[in-house]
């Protein structure tokens, strides 16, 4: 049995985040945090019979408290306060105009009995459970069709106690797909801040079909060998801001998604306008930021800056496959520092994994306008493994101002891609060999033309300085 992360582990990962300015583009939806909203009505979970001993099941107390607070939804909303204690519970729903506030010594614990996690229908953009055909378990904290909902506090803890789920998954004894820790569906105005999330059974925070989502100042931890414990997965959602987070899990720290093969193509809701900044973390098996592999509804306008990944497999990854359809375009990654990372940048065009035999293998994804700039890396094995799809090249891939201390004698492996590069060391692969400046600036997404003058100044003095 893997050990659980505890509050002691949380203290060990408190970091000083860099304060690099976010001036490349505007980010109005990052400035709309309402975690400090004062609700006119507030109750404590203890008023509904909850017992914080870590043993008593409090599902009914949470459900009854939220049912009561629903009467204040049209009166300025309400707050449910969770005081210090260990509050064991099964899955429960949130409501609109609600703040769930956790005291610094409060821990909401997920039940280790699967019967306390109801089974619900699959998402229409997936057509089935992500792991198994059919239905899926509902998340511990769940919301559907909500407006103005907040999970916050004084860095309290929400612990999924996922170890039992990981064992069931690996022993193949599950009947339904594992639950997320927090999931919001078709909701607007979601804020998650100042909370620590531990040991999710599956993906940790999953906003799907949502808009105006802010995730700020959260810590997400799961053992590095725990299966599929993604950190934050915006899915067919728009206007999402993720900032000032530390994530260490068994899968992608952030994975941007938009539906799976024919179901995602049919549902046709993209993920767009996503900002990620000041993210720190590690993952032994996956990527710091991934797009896909479920991207059939499209992913665009993703801007990420001030990233620090260490002791990880991959820095940035795009995952797709024939049959996905959809697109990934207008992606901008800047100011990334990598230490002890196996692969700095990876594109995978043959990821596979299909929901059923009805997908269309001729539905090819469009991957274009990807810019990665201002990257430093130490003890990197491969600079890039960039594999597109034969007959479906990934195009307008632009790399600028990248310096990697690479240990492999073959730092780049590129196929079925095309793009441009400047100030890249070790020198980029042949399909990216054409220079960006001056002839291809307009082919590169969000690359300012004023950098051409900087490129000329540095041309004669570009070298490794480790």
Average pLDDT, stretch 294-312?
Answer: 98
Q: In the prediction, which pLDDT does 98 show?
A: 98
Share of the chain above pLDDT 90, in %: 87
Share of the chain above pLDDT 70, in %: 89
- Give the chain's mean pLDDT: 92
Among the listed residues 240, 166, 245, the one whose alpha carbon sits nearest the alpha carbon of residue 200: 166
- Cα–Cα distance between 290 and 156 in angstroms, integer? 28
Distances (CA, A) of 232 to 216, 404, 437: 11, 27, 36
- Is residue 372 within 8 A of residue 333, CB to CB? The reply is yes
- Cα–Cα distance between 418 and 432 in angstroms, integer? 6
Average pLDDT, stretch 278-303?
Answer: 98
37: pLDDT confidence band, cut at 50, 70 and 90? confident
Per residue in 372-382, pLDDT tens? 999 999 999 99
Q: In the prediction, which pLDDT does 10 show?
A: 43
Among 122-131, 245-254, 266-275, 443-452, where is mean pLDDT lowest? 443-452
Residue 189 pLDDT > 80: yes
Active site residue 251: yes
Q: In the prediction, which pLDDT does 4 show?
A: 52
What tokens were used for 398? 């632009």
Compute, in degrees rounded to 10, the torsion defined by CA atoms 416, 421, 427, 433: 50
Most distant pair of Cα atoms in the chain: their distance: 72
How many whole angstroms from its chain centre is CA 208? 12
Per residue in 82-121, pLDDT tens? 999 999 999 999 999 999 999 999 999 999 999 999 999 9
Residue 131 pLDDT > 60: yes
230, 251, 261, 443: which one is catalytic? 251
Q: In the prediction, which pLDDT does 305 show?
A: 98
387: pLDDT confidence band, cut at 50, 70 and 90? very high
Average pLDDT, stretch 289-311?
Answer: 98
Q: In the prediction, which pLDDT does 454 show?
A: 43
Per residue in 43-73, pLDDT tens? 999 999 999 999 999 999 999 999 999 999 9
Q: In the prediction, which pLDDT does 29 show?
A: 72
Average pLDDT, stretch 253-280?
Answer: 98
Work out whether strand 182-185 and strand 205-208 pair parallel, antiparallel, or are unpaired.
parallel
Q: In the prediction, which pLDDT does 193 show?
A: 97
23: pLDDT confidence band, cut at 50, 70 and 90? very low
30: pLDDT confidence band, cut at 50, 70 and 90? confident
Per residue in 421-466, pLDDT tens? 999 999 999 999 999 999 999 999 998 654 444 444 343 333 223 2
129: pLDDT confidence band, cut at 50, 70 and 90? very high
Backbone angles phi, psi at 332, to 5 degrees: -130, 115
Please enumerate in sequence order all residues whose Cβ is within 8 A of that of 76, keeping only pairs 6 or more positions apart, or say none.
Answer: 39, 40, 41, 97
Q: Count CB atoms within 10 A of the CB of residue 167.
A: 13
Q: In the prediction, which pLDDT does 13 show?
A: 40
């Amino acid at each position: 049995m893997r050990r659980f992360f505890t509050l002691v582990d949380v203290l060990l990962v408190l970091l000083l985040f860099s304060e690099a300015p976010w001036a490349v583009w505007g980010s109005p939806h990052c400035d709309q945090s309402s975690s400090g909203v004062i609700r006119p009505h507030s109750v404590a979970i203890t008023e509904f019979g909850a017992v914080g001993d870590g043993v008593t099941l409090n599902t009914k107390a949470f459900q009854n408290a939220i049912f009561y607070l629903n009467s204040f939804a049209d009166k300025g909303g309400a707050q449910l306060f969770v005081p210090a204690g260990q509050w064991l519970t099964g899955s429960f729903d949130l409501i609109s105009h609600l703040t769930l506030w956790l005291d610094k010594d409060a821990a909401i614990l997920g039940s280790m009995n699967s019967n306390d996690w109801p089974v619900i229908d699959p998402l229409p953009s997936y057509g089935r459970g992500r792991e198994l055909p059919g239905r899926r378990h509902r998340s511990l904290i769940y919301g559907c069709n909500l407006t103005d909902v907040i999970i916050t506090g004084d860095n309290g803890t929400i612990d999924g106690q996922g170890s039992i789920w990981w064992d069931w998954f690996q022993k193949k004894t599950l009947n339904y797909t594992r639950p997320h820790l927090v999931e919001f569906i078709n909701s607007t105005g979601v804020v998650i801040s100042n909370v620590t999330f531990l040991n999710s059974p599956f993906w940790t925070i999953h906003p799907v079909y949502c808009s105006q989502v802010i995730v700020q100042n959260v810590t997400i931890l799961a053992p590095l060998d725990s299966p599929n414990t993604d950190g934050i997965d915006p899915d067919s959602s728009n206007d999402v801001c993720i900032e000032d987070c530390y994530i260490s899990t068994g899968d992608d720290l952030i994975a941007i998604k938009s539906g799976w093969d024919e179901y995602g193509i049919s549902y046709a809701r993209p993920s767009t306008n996503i900002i990620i900044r000041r993210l720190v973390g590690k993952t032994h098996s996956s990527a710091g930021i991934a797009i896909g592999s479920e991207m059939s509804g499209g992913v665009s306008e993703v801007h990420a800056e001030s990233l620090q990944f260490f002791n990880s497999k991959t820095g940035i990854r795009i995952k797709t496959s024939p049959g996905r359809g959809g697109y990934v375009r207008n992606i901008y990654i800047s100011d990334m520092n990598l230490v002890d990372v196996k692969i700095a940048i990876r594109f995978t065009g043959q990821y596979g994994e299909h929901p059923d035999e009805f997908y269309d293998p001729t539905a090819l994804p469009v991957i274009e306008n990807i810019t990665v700039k201002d990257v430093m890396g130490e003890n990197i094995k491969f600079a890039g493994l960039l594999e597109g799809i034969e007959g479906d090249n990934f195009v307008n891939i632009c790399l600028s101002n990248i310096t990697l201390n690479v240990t492999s004698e073959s730092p780049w492996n590129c196929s079925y891609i095309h793009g441009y590069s400047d100030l890249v060391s070790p020198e980029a692969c042949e399909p990216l060999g054409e220079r960006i400046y001056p002839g291809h600036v307009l082919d590169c997404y969000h690359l300012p033309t004023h950098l051409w003058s900087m490129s000329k100044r540095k041309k004669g003095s570009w070298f490794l300085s480790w």
